[in-house]
A and B are shown apart, each in its own frame.
Chain A
Amino acid sequence: MPFKRFSQANPLLTLGLIVAVWLLLPTALKTLARASFFELTAPVSLAASRVRDLQDFWSLRARSRTELIEAGRDLARVNASFELAVQQNGELRAEVARLEELLRLPPLRDHRLEHARVARRDFSGWWQRIVIRKGRDHGIPAGAPVVFSGGVVGRVAEVHATTAVVELISSPTMRLAGVVEGDTRPISFQGGVNPTLAPPRGVVELMPLDIIANPAAPKRLVTAGFGGVFPPGLTLGTIVRADLASDGLFKSGEVELDPRLGTLTEVSVLVPVAPAAAPVRPAP
C-alpha cells in the first residue's frame, strides 16, 4: 500500500526507478528474456507463414494443365542451360584447386547452400529484417551471408531454435565492403534510407575519384570478399549516382538495390564448410 501511494504521487519518479532497476539488471538476464520472448512468439510467425504457403498451394492448384505443361517446358530449357553451367563450374573449380596446389595457396572458403522460406518481413524506416524458417536446428550460424537469385540479401543477425533473423543490406545499420565490378579497390557500402513506394537503396562511400557512375552509365557493385564473411563477386546493387564527397578525396554515391528484396519468399544461407585436411606432401 505505501508503494501504491508513492507511485500515485510520483509517477515520473516511479518511471525513473523502473529505468534504474532495468539498467542495473544483468545483461545475461536481458538476453535470456529477449530469447524467451522471441521463442514464445515464433510459433505464431511460423503458423502464419505456413498458412500463406497453403494459400499459395491452393491458388496454384487452380492453374490449368496447359499452363503447367508450358511451365514444365520452360523449366526444362532453363535446367539444360544450368546443367551446362554446372559442367563449366566443375572445370573451373578443378582449375582453381590445381592452381592452389601449384602455388601452395590456402584454399578459398567453401560454403553449402541452406535454402529457407521467409516467415516474416519487417521493413520499417528504422530497420529492415526478415525472419526465415530455419535456425540452430538446421546448422545456421550467426553472421552467415544470405543470398538469393538477385545477389546478396543480408547477414544472419540472430539464430533461434527453428528460426533465424536476417538483417538486410538495405537496413541502415548494415555495412560491408564492396568493389565496382572489374575493379579491385574496396568501397564502403551501407544500407540507406528506403523511400516509400520505391526500390530499396543504399549508399557508398570512399569511392575512388576515377569511377564515374550515373543513371545513364550505372556501375555494378559486388562484394569484395574481404573479412571472409561474404564470398567475392556477389551482386550488391547498382551505383546510379557518384558525387565528390565533402573531403574532396573520395566520392560518395547512391546504390539502387534489387526491388525483389521487398517481396522475398525464399532465400539461401551460405553455411561455411570446414576445409578438408590438406594431404601431406613430401618436401621437394
Chain B
Amino acid sequence: MRRVIILLLTQVLLWALLAELNHGLSGWQVHVFGGALFVVYPALHLGRGEGLLVAGWAGLLCDAHAPVAFGTHGLLFAAAHLLLFRARERVPRQDPVSQILVVLFTNLALFLGLSLLRLPVAPAPGGAWGRLLPDLLASQVTLALVAVWFLALQDRLVRLGDAWAELRGHRG
C-alpha cells in the first residue's frame, strides 16, 4: 500500500506539471497529452492489482478535469495497464530506450482512443485531425524528453519508501 500511496502522489505531481505546461501553451493552441506516464511505471513494476488501482485513480483524476463521461480516462488507463502488464516480461524494464518506446506507443494508443471517442462531437470530424496531429506530435516529443526522468523519479521515490520502511522494521 505504501508504494501505491507514493505513486498516487507522483501522479498528482505529474497532473499539476502537465496542467501548468498546457496553461502556458494555450496561447499557441498546442496541447500536450501525457496519459502514458500515468500508466507505464505501475504496469511495469507493480503487481496487477496495485498497478490497476494507481492507473485507474490517475484516470479518474484526469476525468474530473475533462468534459467526458466520468470514467473514460479511467477505463482507457486500466485497459492500457492490463495490456502492458501482460507484455511486461518481454520488455527490458530498466533500459531507457525501451522505456521511452513503451511510453510513446502507449501514449499514441491512448491519444487515438480518446480522439475517436471525442471526434463525433466536433463540427468537422475530418478537419479535427489538422489540430490533433500537431498536438500528438508535441505530446510525443515532450514525453520522449521527460519519460526517463519521470520514471526514474517514481522509481527513486518507491525505493526510498521501501528503504524507510525497512529501517523502521529494523528499529521496531
Contact = CB atoms under 8 A, between A and B. Distances in A.
Contact of B135 (A19, A48, A196): A196
B12 A194 contact: no
A145 interface: no
Interface in A161-194: 167, 172-173, 190-194
Contacts, number: 133
A41 B65 contact: yes
Contacts of A22: 71, 74-75
A15 B78 CA distance: 7
Contact of B82 (A14, A44, A123, A157): A14
A12 interface: yes
A192 B70 contact: no
A193 B28 contact: no
Interface residues of A, number: 49
Residue of B63, B65, B114 contacting most chain A CB atoms (<10 Å): B65
A163 to B, nearest CB: 11
A173 B125 CA distance: 12
Interface of B: 12, 15-16, 19-20, 22-23, 25-31, 33, 48-49, 60-61, 63-67, 70-71, 74-75, 78-79, 82-83, 85-86, 114-115, 118, 121-124, 127-128, 130-132, 134-135
Interface of A: 4, 7-8, 11-12, 14-15, 18-19, 22, 30-31, 33-38, 40-41, 44-45, 48, 120-127, 129, 157, 167, 172-173, 190-198, 200, 203, 262-263
